[in-house]
């Protein structure tokens, strides 16, 4: 007999996501992905000056702030005909790529690793054996062991974990299903991973300073329609100067070392222990991307010239799991369905004509069960030519692999050989974790390439970062429409704008998590999260009271529902509920 299970909220993500399930015999048979937060920023920007909109829409998320700002200014530039100078585009590429690398490291260590790592088992590890383990996995990954891997460091971390456990207050490790039989790592691997978890906290703080140099602050750095808000002169103290450029070079070198010598071997080792997850969590066999991570297009990605390294892989679509054929990408084929969402309307609409008209029909919180109704979420359901699509690192890696991108193919083939899997098995929980690591490697290498090109421009005296020709509204047409695509950490992001008489008349954003977390469409087809859990009826859920298998699969997508990180009850207390 089917049993109903509710996981609310899904923790270690940004925002509010609820998963409702039906299980039978330890397997998930049905799933519903439910976004339980509405904010309506697209409505807030209507009637505003389009040059200001980036400052509002980057508040869609408190983590992915830069990418929303860049998507917004690119869409506006497409509408009004502005063309930022090459150095401004290079700075945007640096900002997007730096945030991408930081985001992938945060995801692996702070949002996803604890699904695979049992913190309390680190107390059983021998620090000397942990060092030997770290050195061995580095060698298997083809790199030298990281300088931070020492007996002294591992002993220090073990002592820290011991004091935390003995205190009875697990701090950042509160709420884990420690001791769950699904954890399989040996003690030394657990200790190493916990140490690198703490090291990654320091790394991600250092890494984001690249964004701060160019944007003035983080989160919510400063941008500018037509270019960048920062001035550059290597010889002036009040601008981005030589001192900061030298600092950025050091931070990029640090990032390169951390990704290659810590993240890569850790991910390869941990995924290798859980190889069964290459057969768990498959979602729709269709993938969409407009290039590699960081690819940015103002307007149609198929038109115009883009010499960014992110554009080495051209826009494309993979259909029906056939990695041998890349189909052309057509922005006109994107629609959003609201069949399962609390909005007005029946017909799927293209984002350029999309609407955000609230029509809430659900029960008053707290909810017991939402999925009995046709409408059960705030997330729309984007489709491409009517098909359910995956976006994100997995989609980009598969597109790059199918397109013959040499570095991606090299990294993927190493993993395929190491695990004895077929490329089709990348469409899985483990495959998504692996793809994000592969992309972190290619992204950090691309970061160095972009920075070198930027510096070469400076050496030639190119410090222009602003196109003023289209700044004044008097230079704009009375009506103008524009859009943009940006490949960001979690997937394909697009912003769509219509400007009438100098003001925003219409605005829509189709974000990666909307593509992935959306519910059933007008034809009843489940969304990617839902398919990953219940697509074939074989996804395990052994203990509904400790749904670690669900967390592993959902976290592999890296959900980002909004800026919020907690759910609060009316008294301000945190809620973490698993109901079965």
Mean pLDDT check: name the lowest of 146-155, 513-522, 553-562: 553-562
Q: Residue 61's pLDDT is what?
A: 76
Q: Residue 579's pLDDT is what?
A: 42
254 C-beta neighbours (distance < 10 Å), count: 13
Cβ atoms of 105 and 259 within 8 Å: the answer is: yes
Examine the pLDDT at 562 and tell me if it is beyond 70.
Answer: no
CA distance 190 to 125: 8
In this prediction the pTM is 0.94
Examine the pLDDT at 572 and tell me if it is beyond 70.
Answer: no
Structure tokens of 155? 């002993």
User: With b meaning 16 or more CB within 10 Å and e meaning fewer, what string describes 225-247?
Assistant: bbbbbbebebeeeeebbeebbee
pLDDT band at residue 219 using 50, 70 and 90 as cut-offs: confident
Examine the pLDDT at 93 and tell me if it is beyond 80.
Answer: yes
DSSP 379: -
Type and span of the H or E element at 568: none
Helix, strand, coil share of the chain (percent; to 5): 45, 15, 40
Q: Residue 65's pLDDT is what?
A: 79
Three-state DSSP class for residue 21: strand
Smallest Cα–Cα separation from 515: which of 410, 374, 390?
A: 390
Q: Residue 563's pLDDT is what?
A: 32
Report residue 26: phi and psi, to 5°.
80, 10
CA distance 259 to 445: 10
CA distance 321 to 323: 6
% of the chain with per-residue pLDDT over 70: 96
Smallest Cα–Cα separation from 559: which of 515, 497, 521?
A: 515
Smallest Cα–Cα separation from 407: which of 520, 310, 511, 528?
A: 310
CA distance 267 to 257: 15
Q: Residue 564's pLDDT is what?
A: 25
Mean pLDDT check: name the lowest of 74-88, 229-243, 321-335: 229-243
Cβ atoms of 140 and 268 within 8 Å: the answer is: yes
547 C-beta neighbours (distance < 10 Å), count: 23
DSSP readout, 142-154? TSPPPTT--HHHH
Examine the pLDDT at 580 and tell me if it is beyond 60.
Answer: no
CA distance 580 to 6: 6
39 C-beta neighbours (distance < 10 Å), count: 15
Cβ atoms of 157 and 194 within 8 Å: the answer is: yes
Mean pLDDT for the chain overall: 93
424 C-beta neighbours (distance < 10 Å), count: 15
Torsion sign, CA atoms 71, 76, 78, 81? negative
pLDDT top residue among 567 and 167: 167
% of the chain with per-residue pLDDT over 90: 84
Smallest Cα–Cα separation from 103: which of 530, 512, 380?
A: 512
Q: β-strands 296-298, 287-289: how paired?
A: unpaired
DSSP readout, 478-537? SEEEEEEEEEETTEEEEEEEEEETTEEEEEEEE-HHHHHH----TT----HHHHHHHSSS
CA distance 66 to 218: 9
Residues facing residue 383 across a β-bridge: 335
Q: What is the distance in angstroms between the CA of the first residue and the CA of the last residue of the chain?
A: 14
pLDDT top residue among 473 and 205: 473
Q: Residue 355's pLDDT is what?
A: 87
Smallest Cα–Cα separation from 319: which of 407, 386, 370?
A: 386
Q: β-strands 27-35, 296-298: how paired?
A: unpaired
pLDDT top residue among 64 and 515: 515
pLDDT band at residue 62 using 50, 70 and 90 as cut-offs: low
H runs (alpha helix) in 60-123: 65-80, 86-106
Mean pLDDT check: name the lowest of 32-46, 367-381, 448-462, 566-580: 566-580
Residue with tokens 């809620």, as numbered in its chain: 575
CA distance 407 to 293: 14
- Domain 3-579: give its CATH superfamily: Cytochrome-c3 Hydrogenase, chain B (1.10.645.10)
Residue with tokens 């011991």, as numbered in its chain: 162
The 3-state secondary structure of 245-272 reads HHHHHHHHHHHHHHHHHHHHHHHHHHHH
Q: How many alpha carbons fall within 13 Å on the CB side of residue 491?
A: 25
Query: Using one digit for the tens of pLDDT, what is the confidence trace for 114-161?
Result: 999 999 999 999 999 999 999 999 999 999 999 999 999 999 999 999
Torsion sign, CA atoms 270, 14, 559, 578? positive
């Amino acid at each position: 007999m089917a049993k109903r299970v509710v996981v609310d909220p899904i923790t270690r993500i940004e925002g509010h996501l609820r998963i409702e399930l039906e299980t039978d015999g330890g397997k998930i048979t049905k799933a519903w992905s439910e976004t339980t937060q509405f904010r309506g920023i697209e409505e807030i920007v209507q009637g505003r000056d389009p040059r200001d909109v980036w400052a509002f829409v980057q508040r869609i998320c408190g983590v992915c702030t830069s990418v929303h700002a860049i998507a917004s200014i690119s869409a506006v530039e497409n509408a009004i005909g502005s063309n930022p100078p090459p150095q401004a585009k290079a700075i945007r590429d640096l900002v997007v790529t730096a945030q991408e690398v930081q985001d992938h490291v945060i995801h692996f260590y702070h949002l996803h690793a604890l699904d695979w790592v049992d913190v309390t088992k680190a107390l059983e590890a021998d620090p000397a054996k942990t060092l030997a383990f770290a050195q061995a996995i580095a060698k298997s990954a083809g790199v030298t062991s990281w300088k931070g891997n020492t007996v002294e460091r591992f002993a220090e971390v073990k002592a820290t974990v011991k004091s935390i456990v003995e205190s009875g207050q697990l701090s950042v490790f509160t709420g884990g299903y420690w001791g769950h039989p699904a954890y399989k790592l040996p003690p030394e691997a657990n200790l190493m991973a916990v140490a690198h978890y703490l090291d990654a906290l320091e790394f991600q703080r250092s890494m984001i300073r690249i964004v701060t140099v160019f944007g003035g602050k983080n989160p919510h750095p400063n941008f500018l329609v037509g270019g960048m808000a920062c001035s550059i002169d290597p010889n002036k103290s009040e601008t981005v100067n030589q001192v900061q450029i030298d600092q950025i070079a050091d931070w990029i070198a640090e990032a390169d070392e951390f990704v290659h010598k810590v993240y890569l071997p850790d991910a390869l080792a941990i995924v290798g222990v859980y190889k069964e997850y290459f057969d768990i969590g498959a979602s729709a066999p269709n993938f969409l991307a407009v290039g590699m991570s960081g690819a940015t297009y103002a307007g149609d990605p198929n038109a115009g010239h883009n010499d960014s390294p992110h554009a080495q892989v051209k826009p494309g679509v993979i259909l029906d799991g056939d990695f041998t054929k890349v189909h052309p990408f057509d922005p006109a084929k994107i629609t959003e369905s609201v069949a399962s969402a609390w909005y007005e309307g029946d017909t799927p609409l293209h984002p350029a004509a999309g609407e955000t008209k609230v029509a809430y029909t659900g029960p008053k919180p707290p909810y017991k069960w939402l999925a009995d109704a046709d409408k059960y979420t705030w997330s729309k359901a984007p489709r491409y030519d009517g098909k359910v699509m995956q976006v994100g690192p997995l989609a980009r890696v598969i597109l790059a692999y199918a397109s013959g991108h040499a570095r991606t193919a090299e990294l993927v083939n190493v993993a395929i050989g190491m695990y004895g899997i077929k490329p089709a098995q990348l469409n899985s929980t483990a495959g998504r974790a692996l793809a994000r690591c592969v992309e972190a490697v290619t992204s950090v290498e691309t970061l160095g390439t972009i920075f070198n090109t930027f510096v070469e421009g400076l050496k030639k005296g190119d410090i222009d970062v602003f196109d003023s020709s289209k700044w004044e509204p008097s230079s704009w047409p009375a009506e103008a429409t524009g859009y943009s695509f940006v490949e960001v950490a979690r997937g394909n992001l697009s912003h769509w704008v219509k400007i009438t008489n100098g003001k925003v008349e219409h605005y829509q954003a189709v974000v990666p998590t909307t593509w992935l977390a959306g519910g059933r469409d007008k034809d009843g087809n489940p969304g990617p999260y839902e398919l990953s859990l219940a697509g074939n009826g074989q996804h395990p859920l052994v203990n509904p009271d400790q749904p670690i298998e669900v967390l592993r699969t959902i976290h592999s997508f890296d959900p980002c529902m909004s800026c919020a990180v907690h759910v609060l009850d009316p008294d301000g207390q945190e809620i973490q509920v698993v109901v079965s």
